[in-house]
Amino acid sequence: MTPNPDPTDASPAPEKNDFIRQIVREDLAGGKHAAVRTRFPPEPNGYLHIGHAKSICLNFGIGREFGGRVNLRFDDTNPAKEDPEYVEAIKEDVRWLGFEWAELRHASDYFEVFYRGAIKLIEQGKAYVCDLSAEQVREYRGTLTEPGRDSPFRSRSVEENLDLFRRMRAGEFADGSRTLRAKIDMASGNINLRDPAIYRVKKVAHQNTGDAWPIYPMYDYAHCLSDALEGITHSLCTLEFEDHRPLYDWFVDNVDLAGDPALYQPLVDAGFTVPAGKPRQIEFSRLNINFTVMSKRKLLALVQDGLVAGWDDPRMPTLQGLRRRGTPAAALRLFSDRVGISKQNSLIDYSVLEGCIREVMDAAAPRRLAVINPVKLVITNLSDDHAETLRFSNHPKDPGFGERDVPFSSTLWIEREDFMEVPPKGFHRLVPGGEVRLRGVGIVRCQEVVKDGDEITELRCTLDLQSRPGMEGADRKIKGTIHWVSAAHAVAAEVRLYDRLFNVPDPDRDEDGKTYRDHLNPDSVRVVQAWVEPSAAGLAAESGVQFERLGFFTADRRDHGPGRPVFNRTVTLRDTWARK
């Protein structure tokens, strides 16, 4: 059973107040915008990772807080690296995080508009067709300390450029043979303004438009014009795009969609709403977290080289991986709030994420009993066929979770580490001749240890019947309490004990001839057969649970089922890396 709290009892969430939200408030109060429009604009060339969660929560969060509209837009301008698989996974991830978009858009929806905009720039003498190779373009571009040189094709006439560009559109030229470039300033201190490419020839089928286009717009050109077409008021992006902002402004100002509705008439005819305007770009720091890598190239290599089990491997920082491990969406939203929004790059410790997961799961996860490294415990003063049903609370802090029946018998499984023949100082669990409290049962004393060679196979104990709940000795003081499952009723389960994928804080740091591959944690996953109480085996896939004293676990979303329970350790009960 899960609680059904009265929503009227919930306290209002505190108002968030970062520099971006302050800008939005000022813009609305000053009448600059009647309503807020934001967007989340992923490229469908890979799976989203935890860094994207921050952007999702920011864009959709602002839309939700200020009553605005948020689009999900795929910036799909590079068909060679895009795949419908990524598109569907991204939509699933956004919804899983708890958000819904006002409109689903694609940059490819606007390809005809981009083409018309490019024609307009050529007609204004602000764009030209260049025959330099990619290597020659780099050579001509100059450096941070030296200005670039004009392309020998920069002086082509408007008529020649229009003819060549239309022939590019018709598919007459080979891939990479020509580009359309903006004519801005080859001596600019901002290299992005040194006649950047607008279009390139690429005869590759597109996942959304098929073979309709043999040329494709460059990301920098398409991205800002997409924002303008959608009437985005606040274009939020990470700090590495700050140097691109002057270029985005140049494209938006010179194409001037808002002042030239004829450019986007095909969209209107197709039924699109086009509230064209000029977006304001605001940059914020990206999410950097230690003990992981978030480069798409490196994540792809981990998958392709079989170093992980796939994009949704529970050790991966992808949203699909985090979800499969059992990370609650609410924990990622909380994490995004905790790390905050700023202009300064910083490195967040992995323990902050784990702390958010614990906080959410502690409140939301019911408790169950499980033993992952079992040793048999036999209670000798109960009959061999003894069986009874005990009542356990589903959550010690929330009566709304109710109670459940837990079967009990004279033969139990306990954790092997809860018994020691030669205990260290401070060990308060079971020892030869010692006593410990069995959770919800009473106090047992270990009378005999049965071995097969050096391996302990069975502990034979007696139960103090007067220490059972409701009896006069139930309050007898004893230092240790351990958990158990009934051997006669427990269900075998596969338990996957996940840990951090890397064993150093900065696996991206290449030194001493080592790369991130050399820092993979060999203990990042261990699979064991465990025993769980029957009600745990019956949990639905993706259900979170605290196995008492062991950690927070989640029923695997793909492999778990009533006949074959599979649980992933989502997070330990406490930070086990602090002492490392």
* Cβ proximity of 296 and 481 under 8 Å: no
Question: Known binding site for L-glutamine: residues?
Answer: 75, 219
In this structure, the dihedral spanned by the alpha carbons of residues 535, 541, 545 and 548, taken in order and rounded to 10 degrees, is 60
Task: Please give the annotated binding residues for ATP, written as ranges.
Answer: 43-45, 49-55, 238, 286-287, 294-296
Binding-site residues:
43-45, 49-55, 75, 219, 238, 286-287, 294-296
Give the Cβ contact number of residue 211 at 10 Å: 10
Our separate counts of H helices and E strands in the chain read 14, 27
Q: Sign of the C-alpha dihedral, residues 428, 429, 432, 433?
A: positive
Which of 21, 37, 39, 43 does the annotation list as catalytic?
43
What kind and span of H or E run contains 532?
strand 525-532
State how beta strands 127-130 and 179-182 pair: antiparallel
- Distance, CA of 243 to CA of 190 (rounded, Å): 7
**425 is annotated as an active-site residue:** no
- Choose, from 149, 296, 298, 460, the residue flagged as catalytic: 296
Query: DSSP string covering 24-87, please?
Result: HHHHHHTTS-SS-EEEE---SSS--BHHHHHHHHHHHHHHHHTT-EEEEEE----GGG--HHHH
Instruction: Kindly list the distances between the CA atom of residue 24 and the CA atoms of 37, 52, 66, 238, 246, in Å, as whole numbers in the listed order.
Output: 10, 21, 9, 17, 21
Round to whole Å and give the CA distance between 440 and 457: 24
Active site residue 126: no
483: left (phi over 0), alpha (psi -120 to 50) or beta: beta
The verdict on whether 296 is a catalytic residue reads yes
In the numeric block, which tokens belong to residue 467? 């220490």
Angle at 166 between CA 160 and CA 170, to 5 degrees: 140
| 3 state SS of 238 | strand
Select which of 25, 286, 376, 445 is catalytic: 286
Q: How far is it, in rounded angstroms, from Cα 402 to Cα 463? A: 28
Q: For residues 355 and 208, what is the distance between their CA atoms, to the nearest angstrom?
A: 41
Q: What gap in Å lies between CA 245 and CA 39, rounded to an integer?
A: 17
3-state helix, strand, coil in the chain (%, to 5): 30, 25, 45
Class of residue 239 by CB neighbours under 10 A (exposed 0-12, middle 13-18, buried 19+): middle
Residues with active-site annotation: 43, 286, 296
